[in-house]
Structure 1
Amino acid sequence: MNFLANRIAVAIKNANSEDTYSIEIMQYSLNIILNTCFIILATALIGIVTGHFSESLIFLFSFSLLRLSSGGFHLKTATACNIVTIFLSTASPFLSIFSEQYFWFLSGISFLIIVVFAPNPDKNARIPLKIYPALKLISIILAGSNFLIHSSVVGLAFFVQSLTVIKQKKEVIT
């Protein structure tokens, strides 16, 4: 993706060098866009092949929506993020059959984790502290909404996402 993002950024810069950002900034932004498109496309294709198109996309959408407001830890590479996200999105329909039995438990745990730990934005996000209460409220409303929606796929998505907001204690070296 990085190679493709670079090629596109160079082409944009060559087409209009004065009214564009630096190649590095455009490449960074294009990387995010291309990786997101890749995740959506791969999830959709695998969902079609497995016969779980809508469930896979519902998981991906629900996971992403809660992640926007609650934050969470990031994997070390975009490739790892792509693989894990696609796997979770396409495996969830198979797991949601089992999670129906545990719907209230998973939804309750997810809700409690969000209440206690959200938001936990990435340190590079530059989100002002003054909007943290709004992010927390949005996260709580989203996590609580599944008690009304009562979807095992959404419940799994919220559960997995809630696990990513649990703050890890950093070791203090003395």
Structure 2
Amino acid sequence: MLHRIAVSMRDRMIANGVMAPSVEIILYALNIVGNTVSIFSISALVGLITGELVRTLLLMMVFALIRILSGGYHLKSGMWCIVVSSALMSVLPHLRLTNTWTYVFTGIALLAILIFAPANYDKYARLSERYYPFLKLISAAIVAANLFIVSDVAAIAFITQALLLPFKEGGEEE
């Protein structure tokens, strides 16, 4: 079904005089959008049902931001990405940390960012390596800010992302 949509989109682009990407690239983009919308929808619905919508939305925003900047492990299939990410984004907002654990998790995440970020950018992004130190600096600054903000939700997002940074394997199946 998605393949037909990608072909149709490409045909319409060409008919309108637009330099269209290949069907494979359009299909890849549609899969990313579909995965993102699925994860967001499932997690937000669980958050709404359990009364933790605000914490769920905050966790997803913080996690997405730090993930974009610092990279990390990718699961081998889009379906596993949806299942695992939805489970994490649905369960983690229900955890509560004391300030002590918030500082500990933030500190560990900061150390992991400084050591491993950005991770797997060479495989998944078209960004020159000369920007990697900047990505590391911005990621570290965002995590370090939580030492002053002391948000347990942010600390949970940061430590979750930090655990994904050292892994080099993964990647979506074709």
TM-score > 0.5 by shorter chain = yes
Answer with 152-161 or 8-17: which moved more. 8-17
Matched-pair contact (CA < 8 Å) for 1:117–1:167: no
2:81 counterpart of 1:84: no
Matched-pair contact (CA < 8 Å) for 1:146–1:155: yes
Q: Which amino acid aligns with 1:6?
A: H
Report the equivalent of 1:67: 67
Of structures 1 and 2, the one scoring higher in RCO (CA 8 A, sep 6+) is: 2
Matched-pair contact (CA < 8 Å) for 2:72–2:165: yes
Matched-pair contact (CA < 8 Å) for 1:69–1:138: yes
Structure 1 residues 16 and 110, CA gap change in structure 2 (3 angstroms): closer
Structure 1 residues 35 and 98, CA gap change in structure 2 (3 angstroms): same
TM-score (norm 1): 0.86
Deviation at 1:39?
Answer: 1.2
Tell me, in whole angstroms, the C-alpha distance in 2 between the residues paired with 1:82 and 1:168.
20
Q: Which amino acid aligns with 1:138?
A: I
Deviation at 1:10?
Answer: 2.7
Q: Which amino acid aligns with 1:142?
A: I
Deviation at 1:13?
Answer: 3.3
Deviation at 1:9?
Answer: 1.4
Structure 1 residues 51 and 108, CA gap change in structure 2 (3 angstroms): same
Report the equivalent of 1:106: 105
Q: Alpha carbon RMSD of aligned pairs, Å?
A: 1.9
Report the equivalent of 2:172: none
Matched-pair contact (CA < 8 Å) for 1:100–1:152: yes
Q: Describe the superposition over 1:127-173 as per-residue Cα deviations: whole angstroms up to 9, x where unpaired.
A: 2110011011111011112112211111000000011112559xxxx
Unmatched segments (≥5 aa) in structure 1: 170-174
Structure 1 residues 53 and 12, CA gap change in structure 2 (3 angstroms): same
Unmatched segments (≥5 aa) in structure 2: 170-174
Task: Within 5 Å, give how 1:1-174 maps onto structure 2.
Answer: 3=1, 5-18=2-15, 19=18, 20-95=20-95, 97-98=96-97, 100-122=99-121, 123-167=123-167
Deviation at 1:99?
Answer: 5.4
Deviation at 1:93?
Answer: 2.0
Deviation at 1:87?
Answer: 0.9
Matched-pair contact (CA < 8 Å) for 1:121–1:127: no
Identity of aligned residues (%): 36
Report the equivalent of 1:172: none
**Count of paired positions:** 165
Q: Describe the superposition over 1:63-111 as per-residue Cα deviations: whole angstroms up to 9, x where unpaired.
A: 110011111111111111111111111111222x245551111111111
